[in-house]
Structure 1
Amino acid sequence: MKKYRIHVQGMTCSGCEEHVATALESIGAVNIEASFRRNEATFELPDDVDIKTAQKAINEAQYQSGDAEVLEPHDAPVLGDEGDYDYDFLIIGSGGAAFSAAIQAVEYGAKVAIIERGTVGGTCVNIGCVPSKTLLRAGEINHIAKSNAFLGLATSAGTVDLEQLVKQKDELVTEMREQKYEHLIGEYGFELIRGEAKFVDEKTIEVGGRKLTAKRFLIATGARPSVPDIQGLKDVEYLTSTSLLDLKQLPKTLAVIGSGYIAMELGQLFHNLGSKVTLLQRSPRILKEYDPEISEAVTKAITEQGMNLITGVTYERIEASGNLKQVHISVYGEKKIIEAEQLLIATGRKPNTETLNLRAANVNIGTKGEIIVDDFLITSNPRIYAAGDVTMGPQFVYVAAYQGRIAADNAIGGLEKKVNLEAVPGVTFTSPSIATVGLTEEQAKAKGYEVKTSVLPLDSVPRALVNRETTGLFKLVADSKSLKVLGVHIVAENAGDVIYAATLAVKFGLTVEDLRDSLAPYLTMAEGLKLAALTLNKDVSKLSCCAG
């Protein structure tokens, strides 16, 4: 018997799955799993049955068979491996991917250890999501107190004590790190080894002069801020996303090189706290990977709020001038100098792989230093897996945790789980926030879809009207034939809370009609999803409240 996975187009429901399974059964296939949501079928065929016979059977059932792949059987569960090893599973790193993998591996009965050279918990809880989002909330409150849209309300804000805010942030970080990471080590019974890990060979690492062997390894060492090569930058003091969150004194002016989600969030944070912020971006528009409507809405929002945005920048040099940093730039041929007390570098992240001695382990890396893995998270060394930011996939802690769990299932459980990142939601916690899932219009067209889109301005969403915050939009991208939702993109208050519903729509193949036929609570931002669906063939401005 050989196991296959084959791409199948045309399935739209569970009934279609049954038709495909019946067609495959008729030619002798067994252990069949058909999924209309993933557009695929997996099954086993006797050695004397050719895969082309299966493809023909699917086509005769009025579905379209695509390419087929042989699913090579993985080794038996690692706990059954022979040999004398110190551990079943050694994990390098202690962030979201590492802890998710360790917990899952322990549940298989494996002997597990995590190796950490610094602070337990990784980026998210220590220097990323948690500290930045709590400070962002503080900034929002300060901004609203200084300026609100309601007549009759007299609100004001005093001087910001950044040192107190940072102290409170640090207390929260410590508490969450203890609860969500450190305390779990004893709870689940895996070991924490302190020190720098370096591979000696394919099955051995060295930590603090101690050599340790394992049946399987997971590399989950994360990533760190990347610093661009700009003349003079190395000679001036600059901030990264890590050091910025530890400032004790609010700068009067802040220049930000970069305009991705980190630059956007931290730039707006300090704007809301009272700094004068300038965002500098090489490309002609911010958020260039997003649909143009998203970029335009966010540009409008931050400009209205008083942030200075300069696009089309060429960096010439950076130098110090007294207490100020001077960024010498050229904008479409015009030379300018941007001066600021503090300079934030937010131009992306790079994987932490340099000190691992991966060559000794025969683990291949890419051009950016990222560890290359297959769909099962296996590296070029079948003993070694990698997950999370070190692979330079979507840089979200929930993706890292998802990958860590799959890595443990495959490495320790002997399963054949593939990573599926087709419906990964992403949120930028600006105000208004930005949330996306699925394909952009351009991506959908590149994949061969005939696309139908709807763009709903935020001033057509009742929640936005009552909030008096109407800069933003909802955009749906759908297959014009089936009306299957391919992507959802939102700029709105609480967009991050809305995007989970959109993620379910994309992941499970819901259609625009499914959204239209679902009840949406009135005066919630989530109602914008339904209104955006109605916008495909109606003018929602001519509907009464809840008439959809």
Structure 2
Amino acid sequence: MTLSESNMQTAQLEITGMTCTHCAVTIQQLLLRQPGIQEARVDFAEGKGWVRFDPQQISPDQIRQAVAQTPTYRVSRITLMQQGPASDGGTYTYRLIIIGGGSAAFAAAIRAEELGLETLMINDALPIGGTCVNVGCVPSKTLIRTAEAAFHARHSFFDAVRPRGADIDFPRVIHDKQELVESLRQKKYLDVVSDFEHLKIISGHARLADAHTVVVNDGESYTGEKILLATGSRPRIPDIPGLKEVGYLTNRSLFELEEKPKSLTIMGAGYIGCEIAMAYRRLGVQVRIIEFTDRVLRSQMPDISAELEHWMRAEGIEIWPNFRAQRFERTAEGILIHGTFPDGRYHSFLETGYVVVATGIQANVEELGLEAVGVQLAGSGHIAVNDFMQTSVPHIYAAGDVADTPAYVYTAAYEGKIAVNHAFLSDSQEKLDYRVLPWVIFTDPQVAGVGMDEAQAERQGIPYEVGKLPLSEIPRALAARDTRGFIKLIRHAETDQLLGARVVAPEGGELIMTLSLAMKYHIPVQELASQLFPYLTLQEGIKLAALAFSKDVHKLSCCAS
């Protein structure tokens, strides 16, 4: 077979285990026997080898594996020396250009370094680390945990314990939050790539000038064989008269306030709005939620919404469902919010603190030059991708919040790795699989889920059964005097396979991975019912919920099955 010179690549191998020149000759002959390797040279003195190969026939990982089949020789690093061919007959500046600096971008950069790919990362807007570490997961969850500590200092589920309250140093809360953000940004992002030999990071706004060329700040241009778009998302701001003029906060700006707000009106009762509401209420802020649909967490089944809403109201959070804000007005006393209810009734009220917008997210796709190169968007405004993270332009990939995939930090990292593997490993078949994706909403009680719910099973015509167990039937919850919530399992009525699960419980998120694994490995529900779960753990609730399909758990003694 004649190899096309335009497709050939050269790699440098760092080889361990050689003790003499005969070792070098042995490895060299081994490499030359591999399909796709045209030339090979190994030098014992330098501990290195060089191969010229066709990436369509053999990948760097396969070269590494070929050497690893010997008893003692190993390839510790592979560096691709020759850049990919450009359309004009020259070479690309980089094998991979990553636009973005968050979780998807860093996962891609780590994988690219493992493959020895010359990579450029261009970051703009948020600092390195993106949404999660700077304005999302890390700051919100540490504030939620701080608020929980304050709540438990004032409230006890045990009549015999009388809490004495909490003295909250709010500026210190924000200072500690920011200290954690900066620490994790350094340790989990910048330090991770500090010794990478093939990665360059620059700051600036990147735009696609053509399918292989990226221009930064309308100045310097770089060419890349493959491009990964990982520009993330930002809060979606509704177009309501007066909202921009009165000034509003999002989770980004709210978490920066060092003076505790007197009150908040939160627009939106999705997971972001609910998490913010509970955290700030427990930190001593008066909180109101306005939601244009009929309940909180509208994406979930009504019983989940009702359970969470009950406990939110019990903590003093005002919830206004079916209220659509129509106009905002700044007055001397505060922000006047005008709106209507579905029956046409008009109502206005005064917010003397701040308005927080939590009405969803939108992808950062503006001014990327997508239209010029033919990258298509999904109906949601996110970049449309296939199961390998390819866009409508095959050598351009997208991952993380900018893509039309679930918007979690752990899925973003997963997608970044899949994109690089597919782009540079010809034999990679790894693709997206979110059938058993677990997720958690960090309210209290937490809401967690995996797989489908009853409505989704109904729409797909799947015969299903629901087993629902209140926490009042779980010994651990009874011992803790905290029986808020339930565990709900949805199973296939004919095969006994778990179709999905929903948990509403204190620390309920700690249960969901067990249920995800049960789905992934096709463990029947009755098999879950027969397993030995430790007594007085919340995990035991999974066993009891599984038993509820065939037995009346009210009539079981402790630990009986």
TM-score normalised by L of structure 2:
0.82
Q: What is the distance in 2 between the residues matched to 1:323 and 1:120?
A: 39
Confirm or deny that 1:462 pairs with 2:462: no
Kindly state the Cα deviation for residue 273 of structure 1 after the two structures are TM-superposed.
Answer: 0.5
Confirm or deny that 1:82 pairs with 2:85: yes
- For residues 152-301 of structure 1, the aligned pairs below 5 Å read 152-189=160-197, 190-208=199-217, 209-301=219-311
Secondary structure at the counterpart of residue 184 of structure 1: coil
In the other structure, the counterpart of 2:108 is 101
Kindly state the Cα deviation for residue 329 of structure 1 after the two structures are TM-superposed.
Answer: 2.2
Kindly state the Cα deviation for residue 544 of structure 1 after the two structures are TM-superposed.
Answer: 0.9
Q: CA RMSD in A?
A: 1.8
Q: Is the 8 A contact 1:218 1:385 kept in 2?
A: yes
Mean CA deviation greater in 487-496 or 154-163: 154-163
- For residues 344-383 of structure 1, the aligned pairs below 5 Å read 344-383=356-395
Q: Deviations over 1:488-507 (max 9, x none)?
A: 10000111111111111122
Q: Is the 8 A contact 1:255 1:338 kept in 2?
A: no
Q: Which residue of 339, 342, 355 maps to 2:350?
A: 339
Secondary structure at the counterpart of residue 168 of structure 2: coil
Kindly state the Cα deviation for residue 75 of structure 1 after the two structures are TM-superposed.
Answer: 9.5
Change in CA separation of 1:469 and 1:336 when aligned onto 2, cut-off 3 Å: farther
Kindly state the Cα deviation for residue 87 of structure 1 after the two structures are TM-superposed.
Answer: 0.6
| Identical amino acids, percent of aligned pairs | 38
Instruction: Select the structure of larger CA radius of gyration.
Output: 2
In the other structure, the counterpart of 2:23 is none
Mean CA deviation greater in 328-337 or 259-268: 328-337
In the other structure, the counterpart of 2:526 is 513
Q: Which AA in structure 2 matches 1:210?
A: E
Q: Deviations over 1:284-336 (max 9, x none)?
A: 12212212221121111112222111111122212122242222222343333
Secondary structure at the counterpart of residue 131 of structure 2: helix
Q: Which AA in structure 2 matches 1:156?
A: R
**Number of residue equivalences:** 476
Q: Deviations over 1:68-98 (max 9, x none)?
A: xxxxx98986968534111111111111111
Kindly state the Cα deviation for residue 231 of structure 1 after the two structures are TM-superposed.
Answer: 2.1
TM-score normalised by L of structure 1:
0.84
Q: Which residue of 471, 485, 496 maps to 2:498?
A: 485
Kindly state the Cα deviation for residue 126 of structure 1 after the two structures are TM-superposed.
Answer: 0.7
Kindly state the Cα deviation for residue 229 of structure 1 after the two structures are TM-superposed.
Answer: 1.5
Q: Which residue of 403, 426, 450 maps to 1:391?
A: 403
- For residues 526-541 of structure 1, the aligned pairs below 5 Å read 526-541=539-554
Q: Which AA in structure 2 matches 1:247?
A: L
Change in CA separation of 1:416 and 1:518 when aligned onto 2, cut-off 3 Å: same
Kindly state the Cα deviation for residue 164 of structure 1 after the two structures are TM-superposed.
Answer: 0.9
Q: Is the 8 A contact 2:484 2:506 kept in 1?
A: no
- For residues 18-167 of structure 1, the aligned pairs below 5 Å read 81-83=84-86, 84-118=91-125, 119-167=127-175
Q: Which AA in structure 1 matches 2:489?
A: L
Secondary structure at the counterpart of residue 419 of structure 1: coil
Kindly state the Cα deviation for residue 392 of structure 1 after the two structures are TM-superposed.
Answer: 3.4
Q: What is the distance in 2 between the residues matched to 1:206 and 1:274?
A: 48
Unaligned runs of 5+ in 2: 1-54, 61-79
Q: Which AA in structure 1 matches 2:211?
A: E
Q: Is the 8 A contact 2:439 2:449 kept in 1?
A: yes
Stretches of 4+ aligned residues off by more than 6 angstroms: 73-76
Q: What is the distance in 2 between the residues matched to 1:253 and 1:488?
A: 36
Q: Deviations over 1:459-486 (max 9, x none)?
A: 1111211222212111101100001001
Kindly state the Cα deviation for residue 416 of structure 1 after the two structures are TM-superposed.
Answer: 3.0
Q: Which residue of 486, 497, 503 maps to 2:516?
A: 503
Q: What is the distance in 2 between the residues matched to 1:540 and 1:320?
A: 57
Q: Deviations over 1:159-207 (max 9, x none)?
A: 4222110001101111100000011222333111211111110000011
